[in-house]
């Protein structure tokens, strides 16, 4: 089953548009970003498949962390996002990126 990635992701009062961007600092390990100042989630265009999905879910966990003031470390955000991605994969759920530009 495929689920479309929303063009705007809302958690609580926070609304973040989702878009692809090229030439992120992928050599430094950056595949995505959530910018609190501009309110945008960017995902590197060069990644795909499971890596793209994990990166998106990583940024969503950041959004949850910010909205609910949880105080998660970067490592714990990655662990939660990776676990959630595995869970979705085990259920046969795929993210559909066709609406994201």
CATH of the domain at 27: 1.10.10
Domain of 92, in residue numbers: 2-96
Specify if 82 maps to a domain: yes
What is the C-alpha separation between 69 and 76, in angstroms, rounded? 14
Specify if 101 maps to a domain: no
Stretch 47-76: mean pLDDT: 96
86: helix, coil or strand? Answer: helix
Q: How many domains does the chain have?
A: 1
Specify if 19 maps to a domain: yes
Specify if 32 maps to a domain: yes
Stretch 37-62: mean pLDDT: 96
Q: Mean pLDDT of all residues in the chain? A: 94
Specify if 89 maps to a domain: yes
Between strands 8-11 and 2-4, the pairing is: unpaired
The yes-or-no verdict on residue 29 having pLDDT over 80 is no
Specify if 17 maps to a domain: yes
The yes-or-no verdict on residue 71 having pLDDT over 80 is yes
Q: What predicted TM-score, i.e. pTM, was given to this entire model?
A: 0.92
């Amino acid at each position: 089953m495929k689920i479309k990635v929303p063009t705007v992701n809302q958690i609580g009062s926070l609304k973040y548009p989702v878009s692809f961007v090229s030439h992120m600092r992928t050599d430094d390990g950056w595949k995505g970003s959530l910018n609190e100042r501009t309110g945008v989630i960017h995902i590197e265009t060069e990644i795909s498949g499971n890596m793209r999905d994990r990166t998106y879910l990583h940024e969503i966990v950041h959004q949850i962390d910010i909205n609910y003031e949880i105080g998660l470390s970067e490592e714990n955000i990655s662990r939660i996002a990776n676990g959630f991605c595995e869970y979705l994969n085990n259920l046969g759920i795929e993210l559909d990126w066709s609406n994201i530009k």
